[in-house]
């Protein structure tokens, strides 16, 4: 048994070794080769390797840390190993937020209420809610979203402001939370959405929604699924920038942070929203779906995406 253990340990250690021998190799190709040979996950912002230098690379059977140390020598970026994930970040100006808290299809017979997280039949929904289906919109066309929303009982529209009667206001503002295809949308800009592009609208009208959205749902929630986002109200992911690998991991190729986050939170049954204007920044790498949530959030923060968790919603703060 001892001999077998030693053999397995030896074989396992050999599988982790990395060998590279090439002249004038770009930083991107070096990192990609290390990731491929090691089987580790990888994540970095697209601008991290922009200033990377080509170098002559020659090492044989190094472990992951030795290979990475050799690869980044004299390069303008550093790495951090988090579990089996390599996170690259800039040497200069790298700031991390360590304050992370780890804490439908519409049917004529039985309409589905979309809360942005799951869909529930109107009959089974425990909260107070209203629904506008695509059929409703086609029967009674509206020229604006405010006009469309004003047809719902309990929704009061005054000028450009919206108040949901029955919601429990626990903030100074009475403005409801608006979710469009899974992403937070400014309520003040809701009239910029073309009603003809809307598949359905669910208005969630009571404080029970704070169980999903935290305090931000206290004034009620308007969940809009666009026709572009899919008839089922699912998030519209640009499949051109993400790829599911044979081992179940997902590769991201110059993927915008909004698409990256919308894809990742689906793995954990969560929802993502953005506290401020849509952040900029694209990401490269490969991530496994079995990474624990707390570790995944730390990985994302290390890669430069500032986050906080509020119930079942992940808020990107910058």
Is residue 164 a contact partner of residue 220, using CB atoms and an 8 Å limit? yes
Which comes out higher in pLDDT, residue 209 or 63?
Answer: 63
Domain 253-316 fold is Phage tail protein beta-alpha-beta fold (3.55.50)
Residue 235 is given by DSSP the state -
pLDDT at 170 > cutoff 90: no
Tell me the sheet residues that pair with 255: 283
| 112-226 shares its CATH topology with 253-316 | no
Spatial contact of 119 and 110, defined as CB atoms under 8 Å apart: no
pLDDT of 289: 95
Q: Are strands 313-316 and 271-274 parallel, antiparallel or unpaired?
A: parallel
Rounded distance, CA 180 to CA 221, Å?
Answer: 11
State the Cα–Cα distance between residues 45 and 254, nearest whole angstrom.
Answer: 8
Among 129-143, 205-219, 284-298, name the most confident range.
Answer: 284-298
DSSP helix, strand, coil percent of the chain (3-state; round to 5): 25, 30, 40
| CA separation for the pair 250, 242 (Å, rounded) | 7
Q: Which residue has the higher pLDDT, 106 or 296?
A: 296
Sheet order of strands, 271-274 included: 271-274, 313-316, 307-310
Does this model's pTM top 0.85? My answer is no
Residue in the block written with tokens 């992940």:
314
Q: Confidence band (pLDDT; 50, 70, 90) for 167?
A: low
| Confidence label for 70 from pLDDT (cuts 50, 70 and 90) | confident
CATH 3.55.50.30 for domain 15-90, yes or no, is yes
Whole-angstrom CA distances from 259 to 144, 146, 255, 280, 283 are 28, 28, 7, 11, 10
Question: Would you state the structure tokens that stand for residue 190, as one six-digit string?
Answer: 């809701």
Q: What is the pLDDT of residue 299?
A: 96
Mean per-residue pLDDT, 224-248: 64
- pLDDT value of residue 56: 83
Selecting from 2.170.130.10, 1.10.1740.10, 1.10.510.10, 3.10.20.70, what CATH number does the domain 112-226 have? 2.170.130.10
Domain ranges of the chain: 15-90, 112-226, 253-316
Q: How confident is the model at residue 251 (pLDDT cuts 50, 70, 90)?
A: very high
pLDDT at 92: 67
State the Cα–Cα distance between residues 190 and 273, nearest whole angstrom. 16
Q: Phi first, then psi: what are they for 244, rounded to 5°? A: -90, 125
* Residue 10 confidence (pLDDT) above 70: no
Q: Which residues contact 300 (CB under 8 A, 6 or more apart)?
A: 43, 261, 264, 307
CA atoms within 13 A on the CB side of 206: 7
pLDDT at 240: 56
Q: What is the C-alpha separation between 55 and 73, in angstroms, rounded?
A: 10
CB neighbourhood size of 230 (10 A): 15
pLDDT tens digit sequence for 123-147: 333 344 578 888 888 888 888 999 9
Percentage of the chain beyond pLDDT 90 is: 21
Structure tokens at 110: 């039985």
Closest C-alpha to 38, from 5, 70, 72, 86 = 86
């Amino acid at each position: 048994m001892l001999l077998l253990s030693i053999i397995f340990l030896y074989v396992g250690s050999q599988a982790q070794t990395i060998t590279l021998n090439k002249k004038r190799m770009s930083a991107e190709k070096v990192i990609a080769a290390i990731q491929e040979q090691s089987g580790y996950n990888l994540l970095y912002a697209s601008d991290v390797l922009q200033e990377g230098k080509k170098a002559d690379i020659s090492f044989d059977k190094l472990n992951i840390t030795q290979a990475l140390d050799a690869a980044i020598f004299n390069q303008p970026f550093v790495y951090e190993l988090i579990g089996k994930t390599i996170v690259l970040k800039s040497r200069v100006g790298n700031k991390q937020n360590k304050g992370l808290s780890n804490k439908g299809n519409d049917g004529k017979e039985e309409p589905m209420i979309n809360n942005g997280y799951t869909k529930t039949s109107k009959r089974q929904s425990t909260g107070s809610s209203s629904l506008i289906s695509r059929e409703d919109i086609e029967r009674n066309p509206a020229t604006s979203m405010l006009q469309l929303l004003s047809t719902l009982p309990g929704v009061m529209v005054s000028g450009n402001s919206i108040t949901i009667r029955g919601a429990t206001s626990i903030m100074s503002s009475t403005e409801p939370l608006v979710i469009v295809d899974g992403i937070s949308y400014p309520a003040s800009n809701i009239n910029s959405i073309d009603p003809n592009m809307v598949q359905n609208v669910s208005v969630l009208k009571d404080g029970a929604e704070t169980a999903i959205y935290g305090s931000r749902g206290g004034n009620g929630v308007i969940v809009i699924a666009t026709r572009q986002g899919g008839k089922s109200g699912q998030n519209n992911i640009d499949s051109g920038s993400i790829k599911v690998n044979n081992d179940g991991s997902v590769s991201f190729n110059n993927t915008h942070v909004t698409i990256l986050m919308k894809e990742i939170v689906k793995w954990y049954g969560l929802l993502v929203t953005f506290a401020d204007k849509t952040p900029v920044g694209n990401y490269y790498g490969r991530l496994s779906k079995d990474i624990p949530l707390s570790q995944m959030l730390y990985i994302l923060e290390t890669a430069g995406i500032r986050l906080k968790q509020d119930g079942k919603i992940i808020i990107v703060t910058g």
